[in-house]
Chain A
Amino acid sequence: AQKVTQAQTEISVVEKEDVTLDCVYETRDTTYYLFWYKQPPSGELVFLIRRNSFDEQNEISGRYSWNFQKSTSSFNFTITASQVVDSAVYFCALSEGRDDKIIFGKGTRLHILP
């Protein structure tokens, strides 16, 4: 069965600190997709990244970076030099290759304090 676990319910850091959001997933499929979404206070989910199970390369996009490790079934998200605008709920999600359903983790609420 598919499952996504975000063990950190809530994190608070001071602006400019680096912060890592953890995501652990479970799936029996060899083909799957992992996602990160950001949900600011407005409620609209914003797509951040999609990663295929075939591609374990880490990715960096500006202050955001993602560490995908199949050996530990983890897909962690790091924000470098955090800013107040990064405050939001972040969701990790999993979709199996044969299915259109996306299973979300419970989310991590991130507070960036000025």
Chain B
Amino acid sequence: KAGVTQTPRYLIKTRGQQVTLSCSPISGHRSVSWYQQTPGQGLQFLFEYFSETQRNKGNFPGRFSGRQFSNSRSEMNVSTLELGDSALYLCASSSLSYRDRGPYATNEKLFFGSGTQLSVL
């Protein structure tokens, strides 16, 4: 079974540009979450999509947006890039969303991709 695939692996942009990152979840997974990882802030949650609907959103400005397609693939877009947006962006997929979990569910877990390393110059 193929894992979570993120493209591109590396990206270099300049301030003011916009960027689109792609994530293909594990086949059959309907939940896709996005995270930003920086040395200073660590791993921070961006948003989660389930069946093409945004379910949760972290504390990021409106420049960060995303969407999910009917095949569960997801894209994340950052507009008007700033130097501070330089980070590793990780995508994770899951077969279940919280509504499907019970307190004793033990098999639900996130599967992460290798990430897209974005450098803003």
Q: Which of A50, A99, A101 is the one whose CB lies under 8 Å from B108?
A: A50
- Nearest chain A CB to B87 CB, angstrom units: 12
Q: Which residues of A contact B44 (CB under 8 A)?
A: 104
**Which 6 A-B residue pairings sit nearest by Cβ, starting from the closest?**
A45-B112, A104-B43, A106-B42, A44-B114, A47-B109, A101-B45
Give the bracket for the number of chain A residues in contact with chain B. 20 to 34
* A100 and B106 contact, CB distance less than 8 A: no
Mask for B28-42, Cβ within 8 A of A = 1, else 0? Answer: 000101010000001
Q: Could you list 27 A-B pairs, sorted by A, with CB under 8 Å?
A: A43-B114, A44-B112, A44-B113, A44-B114, A45-B92, A45-B112, A47-B109, A47-B110, A50-B109, A52-B104, A52-B106, A55-B104, A91-B43, A97-B103, A99-B56, A100-B33, A100-B48, A100-B50, A100-B98, A101-B45, A101-B58, A102-B45, A104-B35, A104-B42, A104-B44, A106-B42, A107-B42
Query: Are A102 and B110 also in contact (CB < 8 A) when A44-B115, A45-B92 are?
Result: yes
The distance in angstroms between the C-alpha atoms of A108 and B92, with both chains bound, is 21
Number of B residues whose C-beta is below 8 Å from A? 30
